[in-house]
Homo-oligomer: A and B are copies of this chain.
């Protein structure tokens, strides 16, 4: 396996010193920033995440801040989700599409106030698209990347850990809502959200200087909870059907192909740049869609490129994320499958680097 060559271009985070001290073994690069992928081992990290609580440096979920009179209008131009009823204090998962309906990102929009929003982005320089649109349409809005680095607290003991640092009021935060809490004299937004199905929070750490103090406070408070440094876990996120932009979908895909039609209110999302294209897509329906797929046999090798899905000698899709699941005793995976073969129970074949494997299309993800 090749090593990663570090440089300023692969940006460090306010928590990198903590991640390194915790013995990070693998990195990926996400939004041109370092993101840990493994500490003890992917399986050991998975087991720990499901039983205890982890602190994840997800600074790479960079924020795109919209500020000014046209902020809400611009936000609605970006997404087919209808944002009219969204209130300050809410987080919305929003597909972002271009004029062809192709997905540019699948971030979480955070409404701070009517004229101030954060977009907590997946892996694409969405800032450049938003700046280009704001400039081209001459909108009255400032678009920038603020000094905000999310820190996720994930796992069944997340409430207990966070209550010790921020007080019991954190237990009252509802799913995809946020509230403000104080740390060292600073007001921080904390949302009940995160890229796992084990429950937990994301702290929007505003100001790099309080990154390590907060990191250290969390570890000091959680020693008896067996808190550990962690990171988004490949196995758990596939079990939970959490899609990864750039892996499971790209700008070649519409939200409908990604199973995100429920986040598209295309008829009422007036102003959305991709609206005309998506109205056509919604009418005709997608001809391929993301599905959970169980792959037969022993643990598959790492999936570092799309694996063709075949049936009757023809390519009918591709697998884009796959891992062995200890809890379910099968290989869990995410694939894009053509209409002809996407019904639950359909038997298909996967071209893995180790050879052909039988597989089954499932109705639901595992967790």
Contacts and interface: CB of A to CB of B under 8 A. Distances in A.
Contact of A32 (B12, B99, B104, B246): B246
A9 interface: yes
Nearest to A99: B135
A244 B136 contact: no
Contacts of A124: 32, 125, 128
Contacts of A2: 3-4, 24-27
Contacts of A135: 98-99, 132-133, 136, 273
B128 A8 contact: no
A163 to B, nearest CB: 33
Contacts of A133: 132, 135-136
Interface string A118-140: 00000111101111111111000
Interface stretch (A65-73, A152-160, A198-206, A297-305): A297-305
A30 B38 CA distance: 21
A6 interface: yes
- Of A4, A27, A28, A247, most buried by chain B (CB within 10 Å of CB) is A4
Contacts of A246: 8-9, 32
Interface residues of A, number: 50
Given A98-B131, A128-B125, A128-B128, A6 B304 contact: yes
Which secondary structure dominates chain A's binding surface?
loop
A134 to B, nearest CB: 8
B137 A8 contact: no
Contacts of A104: 128
Contact of A305 (B8, B24, B125, B132): B8
A86 to B, nearest CB: 23
A304 to B, nearest CB: 4
Contacts of A289: none
A3 B29 contact: no
Contact of A4 (B4, B32, B131, B136): B4
A29 B135 CA distance: 29
A164 to B, nearest CB: 30
Nearest to A35: B5
A353 to B, nearest CB: 12
A318 to B, nearest CB: 9
Given A3-B3, A133-B135, 17 more contacts: A2-B3, A2-B25, A3-B25, A3-B27, A4-B26, A5-B26, A5-B27, A7-B247, A8-B246, A8-B303, A9-B123, A9-B244, A10-B29, A124-B125, A128-B129, A130-B132, A135-B136
25 contacts: A2-B4, A2-B26, A3-B4, A3-B25, A3-B26, A4-B26, A5-B26, A7-B247, A7-B302, A8-B246, A8-B306, A8-B321, A9-B123, A9-B244, A12-B305, A28-B29, A32-B246, A98-B131, A104-B128, A124-B128, A130-B132, A133-B135, A135-B136, A135-B273, A136-B137
